[in-house]
Amino acid sequence: MKFLKLLILFIVVSFNLNAQNNSTLESNRQNNVTYVIKNVNVIPMTKENKVIENATVVIKENKIHSINKSIPENSVIIDGINKWLIPGLIDMHVHTLADGSPFVIYPTKGPLVSYNTQYNMTPYIANGVTTVFDLAARTEHFGQRNEIIRGDVIGPRMALAKVIGGKKSNPIAKTPSDGRNAVRFAKEEGYEFIKVYTWLNEETFKAVIDEAEKQNMKVVGHIPVAFEGKPTKDIFIPHFGLIAHAEELSKQTDDYSYKKAQEFAHLAKENGTWLIPNLTNMVAIISQAKSIKNVENLPNLKYVHPLMQNKWITSNGYFGRKKLIPYFQKQADFHKLIVKAFKEVGVPMVSGTDAGISGVIWGFSLHDELKLLVEAGLTNEEALTSATRLGAEWLEVDDKIGTIETGKFADLILLEGNPLGDINNTRKISGVFVNGKWIDRSKIDLMLSDVEKWNNANKEKYDWKELLNSLKN
């Protein structure tokens, strides 16, 4: 018995040592060069957000070392004249491709489809997306995160949410006790967040959220269909922290008035529930419902893995739903009112795009979202805040990222134009700092062209329908 206790203690201790090693690895993934950006206009995205013109920013190891202090010797100088520096962007709703098999074929068989992690991450980095919140994370995403932390792959920081779905999705949680077990299991597996999903019944939804609070895990997610036709206030349960898209609200009502949007906003405010408006996804859905050509002609489709290119074109779930277009359009219009009302009432909103669903391309989509948020009534600054400081706050990593301040991780984007003047300027990327690693425009272009070349060379090897058929046999 004593031996067993010692053994357990040893395992626990070595586990903790591993955790410590991880934090040293965190610092291993940066390089040893000290960078100085000179004469740059810094948009710090702090609450005051006072632009610091003509500033000198020193990046040492993986941190913002100083702003407007002395320049260390032997540093690499980056010219910031007429350029603008903003924090790296955060996409709060993504689905990153990861290796996978839908079921075990035989023990020791690897995944049916494997991906090059760098190619999966390059579109994020090329777009200055330095943190992502994966809302359907699997074990493989922990592997990706480790590759990035080790420095083997240049990629964003990854926050991972485990989906708890209800009757149709994995893990099946039909009862409150199923739900609580699923939360505890997710905690043990190492997830930081829980995503509640569409098929949970009311009691299980409540139990999952309650258990998540006990386990100190924040909850993001959908509003289950079980709540349709029920009083709106029933949806807002304490500790339900973040709604995954505005669509969750538009599905609850036929009343697409501003008054209804305000009612949602007040309930969210009282409950402390934040919102990911996710305007991009509905725009993408409408565009695909109209014509498959709108997918084929996406300018950045070439950066999408050929299996997904094939799936989005040959097995598109939205194409052909022409009859639903007026309904989708009404929803999209209502989502803009929701953004307006949530702004008016003062409910924090964070940018997220559903990157990875058909037609929504990782990294690029966040710039679409920023533009749509501005069209819906946010100022350029508010849109940027939703994709920087507020995302970091919700994830509780705002002491590390989300603003440009001394001591924070150096996740930064150097822009050719001022995004406070024109939100489209977030696309004019001159270079990106990813955890202190400088990736200039030419390196970004090279990384993107690597992805494109590989995708083009391997296009013929991937056929979504064939893959599905092979699983049936």
**Site stretch for Zn ion (CB under 5 A), options 39-47, 61-69, 106-114, 349-357:** 349-357
CA angle 159, 92, 250 (to 5 degrees): 135
Shortest distance, position 306 Cβ to Zn ion, whole Å? 22
| DSSP annotation of 418 | -
Token readout for 408 is 């924070």
Shortest distance, position 218 Cβ to Zn ion, whole Å? 17
CA angle 209, 222, 148 (to 5 degrees): 85
Q: How far apart are CA 122 and CA 464, in angstroms?
A: 23
Residue whose CB is less far from Zn ion, 35 or 205: 205
Question: Which residues face 220 on adjacent strands?
Answer: 195, 242
Judge if the upstream peptide bond of residue 171 is cis by omega within 30 degrees of 0: yes
Shortest distance, position 362 Cβ to Zn ion, whole Å? 12
Q: How many residues bind Zn ion (CB under 5 A)?
A: 1
Question: Which residues face 57 on adjacent strands?
Answer: 37, 67
Which H or E element spans position 89? strand 89-94
Residue whose CB is less far from Zn ion, 35 or 197: 197
Residue entry with tokens 């999408």: 304
Which H or E element spans position 313? helix 306-314
Shortest distance, position 169 Cβ to Zn ion, whole Å? 12
Residue whose CB is less far from Zn ion, 178 or 354: 354
**Site stretch for Zn ion (CB under 5 A), options 59-67, 75-83, 284-292, 350-358:** 350-358
Residue whose CB is less far from Zn ion, 95 or 145: 95
Shortest distance, position 92 Cβ to Zn ion, whole Å? 10
Please tell me whether residue 248 binds Zn ion under the rule CB under 5 A. no
3-state secondary structure 111-180: CCECCCHHHHHHHHHHCCEEEEEECCCCHHHHHHHHHHHHCCCCCCEEEEEEEEEECCCCCECCCHHHHH
Please tell me whether residue 91 binds Zn ion under the rule CB under 5 A. no
* C-beta nearest to Zn ion: residue: 354
**Site stretch for Zn ion (CB under 5 A), options 117-125, 195-203, 346-354, 403-411:** 346-354
| DSSP annotation of 40 | E
**Site stretch for Zn ion (CB under 5 A), options 253-261, 351-359, 363-371, 439-447:** 351-359
User: What is the dihedral sign for C-alpha 83, 88, 93, 98?
Assistant: positive
Site for Zn ion in 389-428 (CB under 5 A): none
**Site stretch for Zn ion (CB under 5 A), options 182-190, 203-211, 348-356, 452-460:** 348-356
Residue whose CB is less far from Zn ion, 91 or 354: 354
Please tell me whether residue 354 binds Zn ion under the rule CB under 5 A. yes
Shortest distance, position 239 Cβ to Zn ion, whole Å? 20
Is 144 in contact with 117 (CB distance < 8 Å)? yes
Shortest distance, position 137 Cβ to Zn ion, whole Å? 11
Residues 6+ apart with CB under 8 A from 4: none
Shortest distance, position 285 Cβ to Zn ion, whole Å? 12
Residue whose CB is less far from Zn ion, 247 or 354: 354
The footprint of Zn ion (CB under 5 A) covers 354
